[in-house]
Structure 1
């Protein structure tokens, strides 16, 4: 990611865009912050904020015509905030202004021709910046049309502000004749000149004669013009002040000798892309002052400010446990990730943050401008992998699990018995292949019976874990291996039972036709009912949920509209009512396994899962095996849809626990052996029992599961210790402690030999590379 790429990514996040009120204000007063301070009763703090933003604050704070009020988002719900009235309350309650902080003198001087709002703003701003300013005024009184607003301004308010300006090195020269001759003279005596066009346009020019961005008078170096009157339009005090500020910025830059055109896009009233979700906002009537003539009291202003929505977007952060965890929003994360990759070179600072995203894509669906954290995170992970900066702990266990699924222990891609090719290929995915419900054989038999042209079976991994881990080459290698088998089988249509597999095929092999298993069951084979026509009754042998269920859609299938609809139609046909979760379909939430979050950040994955579980008290139905098992592991009653269509004998499949990683390994290997024996009638050699059977209590197994330690890892550790005698023995208890170092992982087991079995009391491991140490397995 280069700087331009970073800017392109940042631009898509709109959280830092100004609220509609602030964007509409020519001076960009932070109305949101002002209202926040008033809401908590901090009028002094609100006044400080106004003083930092407004020129002549005790004057403009009272006479401002609040252009911010019209665009107020609250106005679409009930009535806009009374921003002008709140602002006047702040000024009235906090007393006279104090001299603002000014910069040291710069040794340059500017002249201002005119004494109305825009001219006074130019003088105020340049005086604060350390310039000497002389204000040339026609007549004896300074203030222009402010002098006619006595009903809003208490006596002496304007004079007090002018006195402050005098202490900012601003000198008022009244009784002047403002004409072209004076301009010519001032142009030679001062470093920059501002001409206010409000009353007498002695230059006989209109807006077309000045640059729209800088207000520079075309063809006249160092002269700037503003305060034009637009015929038929009401005079706006705050718009005049905004024009004066724009001119002051140009004059400052001109006198400093820097570009007067750079970075001027957001000056004055401007559009904003900020989105504020008003769904569910309760209407609240505006506060009516008890004494309309006196305006809002401080208490009334506080109540009115409490109606402020404090507009911001954060749509993605509100819905994502991961984004909320790191106390920011996508634009902030983009900068942090860029710094991590380009400055500290992936050393450590944000590694866990980069590796903790589920890559589910919900944020992109919620974002009004389509910001995609997955795109950013995958690019960052690939960058870290390419430079050898990806920490081992983040993904290694899952990549080892993927390697197992690609090994001869599980991999099996072939046509039906006696056939060399097929029209369809059932691809259950590696996690469903390890499901304890063992539904794959029944589904495969059903597909073979219902589809013409032959149905093959594909047991393998699609490569999704490698893609999630940023191992692009490994993911593509897995898909290339599958593609070769697919072509050898005559390029059949793939029937995918896993949404992640379906998404991975679309990403890495779009030429391979893939359809959801649920659509095939619904549209082509019919549901597996015994002696009953489709719509008329439930599947034989299935105990259906007692009430409505909530469908947990796999986040990776959020764009499979046909598949999502099929799931709901299947449930309807077998008589199961559905209550939609708040985050379903296109907006589905992740279970915490996606993107390998559960491996890189187990605590965050548990919080992600808990948030999903809390969305409904209903039983869940999932179509992803890993989602089902994780939900069950969190105590949520959850069915796999195949539990309802192809019952596996469990009395209550919604209560089936998460089987764990070790069971899934064994179940995958067992599935391949079963399919070869029962479908292809190929006898398999008997499984070799372990030399020492393991007895693992549930409490120890839970620790092993959390630490990603398989039964086979513990079995190897114990077997090696017993074969070599390399172990520590506690003579008091008879327990042994043994370690076993593989290429990068050292496993430890505390065990006791009882009646020819190893009773495991504890197990732990650590993953690291130690430079210069030979750690060959065994």
Structure 2
């Protein structure tokens, strides 16, 4: 896989973008995770998240100006989450659990900090935790003097005392009534510079004219500080503690961030590292995380019973449960494949790329890569149009090309495609009585396998309605080869189809299959290929109301026709013309896969069943579709479903088409072969040698269902029994009187357990294994 393209795919996934609350917080507190823990009643875990980032939990928990609330997406659905009140309740409940230990540095550096406000003390805390020796010089009688005055109504003195006590226990030396002045005296700035490895001037918003001999000042008398690195004109002196404009509203959380950024620069300086290299602006910012707020009902904020005391623990939990929480995951909500693997695109892209890049060792993600239905739903719901199908298909192609993707996941499907392209089904003829064709009907390989009689009736109708001759081409478009990532094989099939089309006089191709319409359109873009449904709608369809249309029908559009709006419109027009009441599910653009697309059904039946079952669960109505595999997969999972042709060409015997079972793979092959035989006989008066095995072997329905799940064909079972009976190569189980026989065809070894009742073989069990045996020298 191309690493550049992989990085582009990764960049498109926004799930790892921070939620708005975290992005707006200057410290990037993970409020989403914190609130999730509180909602679950786990205050200890929530406090651990909070205290890991916030240096002074007791103080900030009471006076944080919580810019997070101003951008909370819950505002759009009832009101912002009261994160500030939750924060305060969390601190009051869990502060006693706070435990901190500063790391021990091998070569601790000495740092002087001038100013014991929130900015200076935050820098002191951060540098101390990194193992440095820190001394704080404060001109006032107490640290954090401003907080005692400005926040007296909100901040209890005990909160200040708790956080200061913690800081001093860690080892910070705070010296009050120690005003630092210019010059070289005991408290002179030049003396501090000489005695320490670095100095931070966390002075607050006022002018600093006294320090002009040592550091450069701005025109308004403040220290000239680089806003990104907090460096000054002196290499050992850094600045902080004030904002870019005089008189700006004071922000406690902003001051903490200011000190933290200065501390990070000082630590880099002490290590001899660049102050700016590989460093992002770590302040408050925005986020491009998409959140579908419309999916959540509006719920108003919880009002505290005691407004002065704030939230009780129970109230904090109730308010925390109003949080969504903010995630994108639109594709994961829609896609059972991603949900099954408990992943999201960015993480999945990394895993897939790593799996593809392995030189030696086991590729543990092969099945995951092959489990994607390539349906495009993730692309349709993704805010940035990231298509996981493109990623998985690219990985399949890359691994197939280098011999790293075993064929086992797709072998059965590719063999079925080979059957559809073999002499047992493939056919290309002009309409009887015509030497040329204006239109070439290409029904695909699955509609003939599911409902061969409707193919005959539809072809006869087209012949009677279209002038110039309607040719018939029975073949497969090659979609399974494309889905399996076998690009060269798919190109070879396309070339063969092109050759047949040219031999037929290059007519317009009309197909009844959405997958054929898409696949042929992509692989043979210069050949005119159209869907049969708009053609039928244009020709007009006059028929009495179909019994199958007597009940409301929920319409399912095949995923391969997600963007074929003209086809979708024509299908609905045709259904209305025969009296059907059609109800929409999610709409054509958001339609899902039936599990067959991308060959997911063969690589991972569990995921494929989840895909189709999720769709089935959307409505109790009978389903209407115009894809044979969709109809049959719904039927396979017990859902009543009809094909559009069941409405246009109701069963002649009057049976209920919605109750028609899934024919299964064995009968699909038989149906294709019998269709070709019938067409040759009835239309062109030609006989075809019957290639279907004539046998009296009985396969009970429950055994046949098990064989379908195991992808065992009836013809293989019959061949095993026939060989065993003619050669005598079989074992007998004396306990059951059953015979056991085996046979191998290609990479498939089939085992059959059967009994003889009056000489008639009755299959009791069948199983197989698929492997390629190689002899190594």
Please give the TM-score of this superposition, normalised by the length of structure 2: 0.92
Q: What's the secondary structure of 1:553's corresponding residue?
A: coil
Q: Which of 653-662 and 601-610 deviates more?
A: 601-610
Q: Take 2:134 and 2:532, find their aligned partners in 1: how far apart are those partners? A: 78
Tell me what 1:17 maps to: 17
Alpha carbons of 1:10 and 1:742: their partners in 2 closer, same or farther (altered >3 Å)? Answer: same
Tell me what 2:747 maps to: 744
Query: In the alignment, does 2:461 pair up with 1:446?
Result: yes
Alpha carbons of 1:606 and 1:176: their partners in 2 closer, same or farther (altered >3 Å)? Answer: same
Which runs of no fewer than 5 residues in structure 1 stay unpaired?
A: 531-537
Aligned pairs for 1:156-305 within 5 A:
156-174=158-176, 175-179=178-182, 185-196=191-202, 198-202=204-208, 203-205=216-218, 210-217=225-232, 220=235, 223-225=238-240, 227-231=242-246, 233-265=248-280, 267-305=282-320
1:562 pairs with one of 549, 557, 566:
566
Alpha carbons of 1:733 and 1:89: their partners in 2 closer, same or farther (altered >3 Å)? Answer: closer
Deviation string 1:688-732 (CA, Å, 9 cap, x unpaired) is 674643221112211211111112212221232234332224578
Query: In the alignment, does 2:157 pair up with 1:155?
Result: yes
1:213–1:264: 8 Å Cα contact kept in structure 2?
Answer: no
What's the CA shift for 1:208? 11
Tell me what 1:87 maps to: 87
2:550 pairs with one of 537, 546, 552:
546
Q: What's the secondary structure of 2:530's corresponding residue?
A: strand
Q: Take 2:733 and 2:46, find their aligned partners in 1: how far apart are those partners? A: 70
Q: Take 1:66 and 1:610, find their aligned partners in 2: how far apart are those partners? A: 45
Q: What's the secondary structure of 1:282's corresponding residue?
A: coil
Q: Which of 546-555 and 219-228 deviates more?
A: 219-228
1:131–1:169: 8 Å Cα contact kept in structure 2?
Answer: no
Alpha carbons of 1:348 and 1:244: their partners in 2 closer, same or farther (altered >3 Å)? Answer: same
Q: Which of 643-652 and 230-239 deviates more?
A: 230-239
What's the CA shift for 1:275? 1.7
2:205–2:241: 8 Å Cα contact kept in structure 1?
Answer: no
Query: In the alignment, does 2:298 pair up with 1:309?
Result: no
Alpha carbons of 1:551 and 1:296: their partners in 2 closer, same or farther (altered >3 Å)? Answer: same
Q: Take 2:646 and 2:587, find their aligned partners in 1: how far apart are those partners? A: 21
1:594 pairs with one of 588, 597, 602:
597
What's the CA shift for 1:768? 0.8
Tell me what 2:537 maps to: 522
2:482–2:490: 8 Å Cα contact kept in structure 1?
Answer: yes
1:692–1:758: 8 Å Cα contact kept in structure 2?
Answer: no
1:229–1:235: 8 Å Cα contact kept in structure 2?
Answer: no
Query: In the alignment, does 2:408 pair up with 1:423?
Result: no
Alpha carbons of 1:222 and 1:431: their partners in 2 closer, same or farther (altered >3 Å)? Answer: farther
Query: In the alignment, does 2:422 pair up with 1:407?
Result: yes
1:215–1:226: 8 Å Cα contact kept in structure 2?
Answer: no
2:677–2:688: 8 Å Cα contact kept in structure 1?
Answer: no
Q: Take 1:477 and 1:97, find their aligned partners in 2: how far apart are those partners? A: 69
Q: Take 1:170 and 1:753, find their aligned partners in 2: how far apart are those partners? A: 91
Q: What's the secondary structure of 2:410's corresponding residue?
A: helix
What's the CA shift for 1:578? 1.5
What's the CA shift for 1:262? 4.2
1:574 pairs with one of 578, 590, 594:
578
Tell me what 1:128 maps to: 129
Deviation string 1:267-316 (CA, Å, 9 cap, x unpaired) is 11121122222224222222222222222222222222221111112211
Alpha carbons of 1:526 and 1:341: their partners in 2 closer, same or farther (altered >3 Å)? Answer: same
Q: What's the secondary structure of 1:684's corresponding residue?
A: coil
Q: Take 2:513 and 2:368, find their aligned partners in 1: how far apart are those partners? A: 27
Q: Which of 229-238 and 172-181 deviates more?
A: 172-181
Aligned pairs for 1:288-437 within 5 A:
288-343=303-358, 347-436=362-451
Q: Take 2:204 and 2:296, find their aligned partners in 1: how far apart are those partners? A: 43
Alpha carbons of 1:685 and 1:177: their partners in 2 closer, same or farther (altered >3 Å)? Answer: closer
Query: In the alignment, does 2:642 pair up with 1:642?
Result: no
Aligned pairs for 1:479-494 within 5 A:
479-494=494-509
Q: Take 1:732 and 1:152, find their aligned partners in 2: how far apart are those partners? A: 85
1:550–1:580: 8 Å Cα contact kept in structure 2?
Answer: yes
Tell me what 2:109 maps to: 108
Q: Take 1:187 and 1:383, find their aligned partners in 2: how far apart are those partners? A: 60
What's the CA shift for 1:624? 0.6
What's the CA shift for 1:221? 6.4
2:119–2:255: 8 Å Cα contact kept in structure 1?
Answer: yes
Q: Take 2:737 and 2:314, find their aligned partners in 1: how far apart are those partners? A: 76
Tell me what 1:534 maps to: none
Q: Take 2:305 and 2:366, find their aligned partners in 1: how far apart are those partners? A: 57
Q: What's the secondary structure of 2:293's corresponding residue?
A: coil
Q: Take 1:48 and 1:712, find their aligned partners in 2: how far apart are those partners? A: 64
Which runs of no fewer than 5 residues in structure 2 stay unpaired?
A: 209-215
1:97–1:161: 8 Å Cα contact kept in structure 2?
Answer: no
What's the CA shift for 1:755? 5.9
Q: What's the secondary structure of 1:559's corresponding residue?
A: coil
Q: What's the secondary structure of 1:434's corresponding residue?
A: helix
Deviation string 1:445-469 (CA, Å, 9 cap, x unpaired) is 2223333443222211111111111
Q: Which of 361-370 and 213-222 deviates more?
A: 213-222
1:196–1:228: 8 Å Cα contact kept in structure 2?
Answer: no
Q: What's the secondary structure of 2:124's corresponding residue?
A: helix
Q: Which of 589-598 and 185-194 deviates more?
A: 185-194
Query: In the alignment, does 2:513 pair up with 1:508?
Result: no
CA RMSD in angstroms, aligned pairs only: 2.6
Q: What's the secondary structure of 1:751's corresponding residue?
A: strand
Alpha carbons of 1:251 and 1:654: their partners in 2 closer, same or farther (altered >3 Å)? Answer: same
Deviation string 1:75-121 (CA, Å, 9 cap, x unpaired) is 11221111112212222333458452221124212232333222221
Deviation string 1:362-385 (CA, Å, 9 cap, x unpaired) is 111112122211111112222332
What's the CA shift for 1:177? 3.0
1:224–1:251: 8 Å Cα contact kept in structure 2?
Answer: no
Alpha carbons of 1:257 and 1:414: their partners in 2 closer, same or farther (altered >3 Å)? Answer: farther
1:676 pairs with one of 676, 680, 687:
680
What's the CA shift for 1:210? 4.4
1:421–1:490: 8 Å Cα contact kept in structure 2?
Answer: yes
Q: Which of 360-369 and 221-230 deviates more?
A: 221-230
